């Protein structure tokens, strides 16, 4: 008969391995040895009489039973964490860990100032900020909060705007434009060298344009495909081709004259950046304090478009 007396450590172990798809990386997150983590999962599977993970020498993935387990246990574990933290913080003030998932440009542009101010106010809280390009289920993956463009936030989440509307920018170096000229509409880009963008799932990201209700998604051409914005910026600075970035990621280079912008009329403001989180019965003191701070920094109506 399966033993139902499971502790938080076992539940946290499943969540960490599922999130990382790696026993080694999960063990680092949990500050335990890989062997200890593997033994914890093996004992849990034996107790449940069900295999939760498919393991090979190269990969770790959830079984169907594991996915079902995670779907049910993930949200419940978040509630338990929050309840424990609420009790712990009742007299001592905010403490514990807050985990936030965001894409890198959002973290730099809007989230980091909030995080730094929060850490100064609440020294007992540890912030764990994960930046990645893929969209995640913050509840299932064990995050307290997420940051994304407003249109990408699930409808059942509580949303707090934290930054101005997002805007794309097509940029190149002065040397590139001196040699190759400037595109005047999106179709002209097919005559230029463009740095193509590979998404975390391997797909090539089309460049997005819009003007007066006309929307264009363009699969640009070029000799180089990259998946890291900092590398793409370095390549654009060398005059190799044109790049497609979020405006805040290249504002410093634009201000310094290292980049010049084209097709600005085709890249209007889009969504606001938003902090979002699920509605929980027992939010931790740290979560309540952080969301209160974010609301106190709401952008003005002009900034929000």
Digit-coded pLDDT (tens) for 46-101: 888 888 888 877 778 888 888 887 777 777 776 776 666 666 655 567 888 899 99
Provide the residue ranges of all domains of the chain, joining segments of one domain with +.
Answer: 8-62, 72-166+271-304, 168-266
Place of tokens 């304090």: 289
Q: Are 8-62 and 168-266 in the same CATH fold? A: no
Digit-coded pLDDT (tens) for 180-194: 999 999 999 999 999
The domain at 8-62 falls in which architecture? Orthogonal Bundle (1.10)
Looking at residue 302, its pLDDT comes to 39
Q: Which CATH class is domain 168-266?
A: alpha beta
Please indicate, yes or no, whether the overall pTM of this predicted structure exceeds 0.75.
no
| Predicted confidence (pLDDT) at residue 29 exceeds the cutoff of 70 | yes
Phi, psi values for residue 259, rounded to 5°:
-120, 150
Kindly report the CATH number that applies to the domain delimited by 72-166+271-304: 3.40.190.10
Digit-coded pLDDT (tens) for 217-240: 999 989 999 988 889 999 999 999
């Amino acid at each position: 008969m399966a033993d139902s007396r499971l502790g938080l450590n076992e539940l946290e172990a499943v969540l960490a391995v599922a999130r990382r798809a790696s026993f080694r990386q999960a063990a680092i997150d949990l500050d335990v040895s890989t062997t200890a983590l593997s033994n914890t999962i093996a004992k849990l599977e034996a107790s449940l009489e069900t295999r939760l993970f498919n393991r090979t020498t190269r990969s770790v993935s959830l079984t169907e039973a594991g996915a079902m387990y995670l779907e049910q246990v993930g949200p419940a574990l978040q509630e338990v964490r929050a309840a424990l933290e609420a009790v712990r913080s009742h007299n001592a003030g905010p403490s514990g860990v807050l985990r936030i998932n965001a894409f890198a440009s959002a973290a730099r542009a809007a989230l980091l100032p909030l995080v730094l101010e929060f850490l100064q106010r609440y020294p007992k809280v540890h912030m764990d900020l994960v930046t990645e390009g893929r969209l995640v289920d913050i509840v299932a993956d064990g995050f307290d909060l997420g940051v994304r463009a407003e249109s990408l936030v699930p409808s059942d989440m509580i949303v707090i705007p934290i930054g101005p509307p997002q805007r794309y920018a097509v940029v190149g170096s002065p040397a590139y434009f001196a040699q190759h000229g400037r595109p005047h509409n999106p179709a002209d880009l097919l005559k230029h060298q463009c740095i193509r963008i590979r998404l975390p799932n391997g797909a090539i990201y089309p460049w997005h344009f819009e003007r007066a209700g006309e929307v264009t998604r363009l699969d640009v051409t070029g000799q180089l495909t990259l998946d890291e914005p900092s590398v793409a910026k370095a390549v654009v600075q060398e005059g190799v081709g044109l790049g497609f970035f979020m405006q805040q990621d290249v504002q410093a280079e634009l201000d310094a004259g290292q980049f010049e912008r084209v097709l600005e009329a085709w890249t209007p403001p889009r969504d606001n950046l938003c902090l979002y989180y699920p509605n929980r019965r027992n939010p931790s003191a740290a979560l309540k304090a952080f969301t209160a701070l974010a609301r106190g920094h709401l952008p003005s109506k002009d900034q929000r478009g």
